[in-house]
Amino acid sequence: MSLTKEIQKRRTFAIIAHPDAGKTTLTEKLLLFGGAIKTAGAVKSNKIDTATKSDWMEIEKQRGISVATSVMGFEYKEIKINLLDTPGHQDFAEDTYRTLTAVDSVIMVIDCVKGVEIQTEKLMEVCRMRNTPVICFINKLDREGRDPYDLLDEVEEKLNIKVRPLSWPIGMGKSFKGVYNLYDKKLNLYTPSQRQLSDDRLEIKDLEDSKLVDKIGPNYAEQLREDVELIEGVYPDFDPKEYLEGKVAPVFFGSAVNNFGVNEMLDTFIKIAPGPKSRNTEDREVVPDEKNFSGFVFKIHANMDPNHRNRIAFLRICSGKFERNKPYNQVRGTKPLRFSNVTSFMAQDKEIVDEAFPGDIVGLYDTGNLKIGDTLTDGENMTFKGIPSFSPEIFREVINKDAMKTKQMEKGLKQLMEEGVAQLFTFEMGSRKVIGTVGQLQFEVIQFRLKNEYNATVEFSPMNLYKACWISSTDKKALDEFVRSKNRHIARDKEGKLVFMAESKSWLQMVQDNYPDIEFHFTSEF
């Protein structure tokens, strides 16, 4: 198959949401409809003993939340779908933000009971930065939720994007009858089933058709006719071009836990969602159908298989064809890298692939050469832009509880930091190790993974720190003097860069005023 045809058949997207909106459950059902799994798992359920495919880490199974982005690839109606299930919890926002740089579109899940929540708004802001096309899936229609019109208004107001319903619910909660697909003019009747697929779809081109009344009764039929007339009158016709430009969000309704409304969205998604898009480097725009290969690392994960201490870099392919065993230029490095173990993903399940194309996400087994943001090419020296890096907000000192396991702890910390889970700072004076994160829950994850994956036991002691500031200066003498005078507050990050650990906002301002030759940076990318 030609490069152009391979590109045309690919769709790479992320599922994002506020915690508990049903994001991971929706992921499971998309895999179920795609034939990638036979039985869907449950995130939290006493009745279903099958764990979800995307929440495969031990801590995820215990807590019922996603703490790391999962990558899953499957084929649906001859379209190759690359799906990334992201953490919803704000404490793992960094992982989600980085993931959004590697996708071409997004499906945003909204709980029909709770509506638009704060994390949904934050994630939407990141999508707006790149005009990423967004589809909304309003979930949990099997529960008594809010009025669909009110939900649409809230999405428009809080997320600052126009909406266009492409399906519409008939009833809600106990009276939920199904959804009418406005895009394909089909009625889908609701039959609750958590584990099996149902496809009871009736094509109704004319809502005056007597079959409608036979299926849902006269009252619901009349209500549906009124709703559809109102929608078609209030909302302009769906314009795929506006969706692709990130100006309008198509909206679907359903119940992911009951496999309902998911199929309509998936069928429409493969028709309207964008294929692999061009990406900007610091020098030029890279288009997918260029002959030469290029791609970037957006995530690193250690110990996907706890039995083998492996480290996998997630690579988004941007142009050309990636081939196993071929040497590639690591733009930041000094020598070509060759990858004999290249995998595609189904969460933690992997299979070796010989080639991959723009839009694909592949895993590269790595011994420590790669880091987040690295660019790989056929030879050209260029760096892809837009891998965000965040300044930590919470700081804790690492306390090693077992001196006999110091090596294991240091190895574990190094690998977890390379994943981008958090940032590690080592003080120049006393070699104290301090971890900085954007959320409290990350410390629990680090503690859990150090114990379970590295057999190292740690505790975290709170530190009175306001900000970690990377420092630089064009005057080496001034920088050396600053480091000497503030030695007690100087640390180095995992790359060895100098960092000033400020204890308060006012003190930081005073130090900045007193040392005008020193530049203070709130991100390590300077």
Q: Indicate the domain borders of the chain.
A: 7-73+88-272, 279-377, 394-521
The chain-wide mean pLDDT, for the chain, equals: 83
pLDDT in tens, 95-130: 677 788 889 999 999 999 999 988 788 788 878 878
Q: Average pLDDT of 229-247?
A: 93
Hey, CA dihedral for 389, 393, 397, 399, is it positive or negative? negative
Percent of the chain with pLDDT over 90: 46
Beta carbons of 458 and 401 less than 8 angstroms apart:
yes
For residue 350, pLDDT beyond 80: no
Tokens of 375: 């660019």
For residue 389, count other CB atoms closer than 10 A to its CB: 16
| The pLDDT value given to residue 420 | 73
Which overall architecture, per CATH, does domain 394-521 show? 2-Layer Sandwich (3.30)
pLDDT in tens, 138-182: 999 989 999 999 999 999 999 999 999 999 999 988 888 888 888
Q: Average pLDDT of 347-371?
A: 81
Alpha helices in 367-501 (DSSP H): 406-418, 441-454, 476-485
pTM score, whole prediction: 0.75
Q: What is the DSSP string of 459-475?
A: EEEE----EEEEEE-S-
DSSP-derived pairing of the beta strands 134-139 and 248-253: parallel
Highest mean pLDDT among 15-24, 109-118, 303-312, 331-340: 109-118
For residue 39, pLDDT beyond 60: no
Give the pLDDT band of residue 21 (cuts 50, 70, 90): confident
| The pLDDT value given to residue 113 | 92
Question: Do the domains at 7-73+88-272 and 394-521 have one common CATH topology?
Answer: no
Q: Which residues pair with 492 in a beta bridge?
A: 426, 498
Percent of the chain with pLDDT over 70: 85
| The pLDDT value given to residue 50 | 43
For residue 490, pLDDT beyond 60: yes
Pick the residue with more confidence: 224 or 62? Answer: 224
Which overall architecture, per CATH, does domain 7-73+88-272 show? 3-Layer(aba) Sandwich (3.40)
Q: What is the DSSP string of 132-147?
A: --EEEEEE-TTS----
**Interatomic CA distance for residues 117 and 374, integer angstroms:** 33
Tokens of 299: 């995530």
Give the pLDDT band of residue 307 (cuts 50, 70, 90): low
Match domain 279-377 to its CATH number in 3.40.50.1580, 3.40.50.300, 1.10.760.10, 3.30.870.10. Answer: 3.40.50.300
For residue 14, pLDDT beyond 80: yes
Weakest mean pLDDT among 53-62, 82-91, 509-518: 53-62
